[in-house]
Structure 1
Amino acid sequence: MSSSMAMFDWLRATARWLQQFIISVPLHIAGPAMIIIGALDSSLLSLPEINDYLVVMRCYSEPREIFYFPLFAALGSVIGCTVLYTLSRRGGQAVLRARFRAEHIERVERAYARFGPLALAIPALLPPPMPFKIFVATAGALEYPRWRFMMTILIARGIRYYVEGTLAIFYGTRVLLFIRDNGLMIVSGVASAGFIALLVYWWYKRRAARATIGANAEDAKAARAAEP
């Protein structure tokens, strides 16, 4: 109990120090620092909500930086996730199963098989406590295409941080309280949007397949008619 409390106190003190540092330093220092923090949090360390917290605080204190500061956090997340992805890709299932429970891995693998890129994009969009590193590590073990992986993380995390930063300009730190208090609603909303996107994607692919079959049938019919 005492060790967990000590860890919590350390995380809280670290977050407080990082907040003061990120807010007080100029952008040419805060930007690279945000990339490093994002990379560490997404790979080797785990500082829950730290990226969201720092993006909100910086954009709240410096509204003019909303156009580019969230990008630093997104780039850091891409770097950190790519490190974890690479380690899992090289180590394969052995590394994956040494870190995560087998039933959780199987559930994530089924999500990739069923939903494809959305299985990675939706968890990347959602704030903590949504588990995310298992999706990153599984993508590496499954040898998910590297550039597609990186672009998915960049787009999803970019959307997340830009939305948080924009809301912070108008609502301040209440954005963080809203995320904590309404996590289930956010998860449900994003999951519903993802499901709708999946249905649209499935409908589009089915329509394209039917069009291709129809075109091939017409070509075959024309070829038979042209035969002597």
Structure 2
Amino acid sequence: MVESVVEFFEKFGFIGMFLHSFLDAIIFPIPAFFLQVSLSILDPSNALWLATIGYIACLLGTPIGYLIGKVLGESVLYKLLKKKWIDAASEKFNKNGEAAILIGAFTPIPFKVFTILSGCFHFSFWKLIGYAAIGRAVKFYIVGTLFYFYGAASASFVKEELSIILAAVAVLLIIGYLFKKKRQSKHVKVRYQESKEESL
């Protein structure tokens, strides 16, 4: 299925890259990463242009994915899950959504998952755009830069090793984020205790 989809969009070159990446942020099940790699192998000199087109298209598609989640996502979830579960998930997503979007934006997880969930759980739209812009830039331009400078020789590395490296970076970011949250929580508790003692 992946090969068939990639071959279809591949025929349209830059336009295919734009369409695939745009749909990837909304509802399409196959990440635009596969098409970006395929087109970059065919013409490494255009790798950075492909990265730019894919990046812009993804950001343009993000608001639509968010809107779908906001309009339809909640009603679907309430049919499938209990309200208390949805409320708990919504609370957690709004607390840790920044990390989830930033990390998810450059991992193999389909990006539509994060755009739709952001809308469904009423996460800040502008935060979604901001963190998506950072994370997607990392994903698209790492691939584009590798192909631009090293040509088709980088294909095996991008296909086999890059996803593992990005996943490892994602794990480190998660650990760093949790550590930061823990420190902030501890700092708030200390400040609260100090203010309490001062009031006495």
The equivalent residue for 2:68 is 87
Question: Tell me, what secondary structure is at the counterpart of 1:55?
Answer: helix
Could you tell me which of 143, 164, 189 is aligned with 1:164?
143
Label 1:86 to 1:200 Cα distance change in 2 as closer, same or farther (>3 A).
same
1:69-101 CA distances to partner (integer Å, 9 max, x unpaired)? 312212222232321210221235213456xx6
Q: Tell me by how many angstroms 1:184 deviates.
A: 5.7
Q: Which residue of 1 aligns with 2:121?
A: 142
Distance 1:62 1:185 in 2: 22
Cα distance, 1:159 vs. partner? 0.7
Residue 170 of structure 2, aligned match among 180, 183, 190: 190
Identity %: 16
Tell me, in whole angstroms, the C-alpha distance in 1 between the residues paired with 2:158 and 2:86.
30
Amino acid corresponding to residue 63 of structure 1 in structure 2: S
CA offset at residue 118 of structure 1? Answer: 0.4
Which one scores higher on RCO, CA 8 angstroms, separation ≥ 6? 2
Separation in 1, partners of 2:87, 2:110? 15
TM-score normalised by the chain length of structure 2: 0.72
Deviations 1:30-79 (A, max 9, x none): 2x542222112321332x23x1123234444233652x431221222223
Work out which of the two has the higher radius of gyration on C-alpha atoms and give 1 or 2.
Answer: 1
Per-residue deviation at 1:206? 5.9
What SS is found at the alignment partner of 1:173?
Answer: helix
RMSD: 3.7
1:115 equivalent to 2:115? Answer: no
Deviations 1:97-127 (A, max 9, x none): 56xx649968864652552300222112101
Cα distance in 2 between the residues matched to 1:15 and 1:164: 16
TM-score, structure 1 normalization: 0.65
Residue 93 (structure 2) pairs with residue 125 (structure 1): no
The alignment covers a number of residue pairs equal to 192
Q: 1:43 to 1:116 in 2, by over 3 A?
A: closer
Which residue of 10, 19, 31 corresponds with 2:10?
Answer: 19
Q: 2:53 aligns with which of 52, 60, 72?
A: 72
Question: Residue 185 of structure 1: CA displacement?
Answer: 6.0
Q: Pick closer, same or farther for the CA change 1:75–1:108 going to 2, 3 Å.
A: farther
Q: Within 2, Cα distance between the matches of 1:52 and 1:82?
A: 20
**For residues 202 and 150 of structure 1, what CA distance do their matches in structure 2 show?**
26
- Contact 1:41–1:77, Cα closer than 8 Å, also in 2: yes
**Which of 26, 31, 37 does residue 43 from structure 1 map onto?**
26
Which of 133, 137, 160 is residue 154 of structure 1 equivalent to? 133
Q: Please, which runs of 5 or more residues in structure 1 have no aligned partner?
A: 1-7, 23-29, 221-228
Cα 1:107–1:175, aligned 2, differ >3 Å: closer, same or farther?
Answer: farther
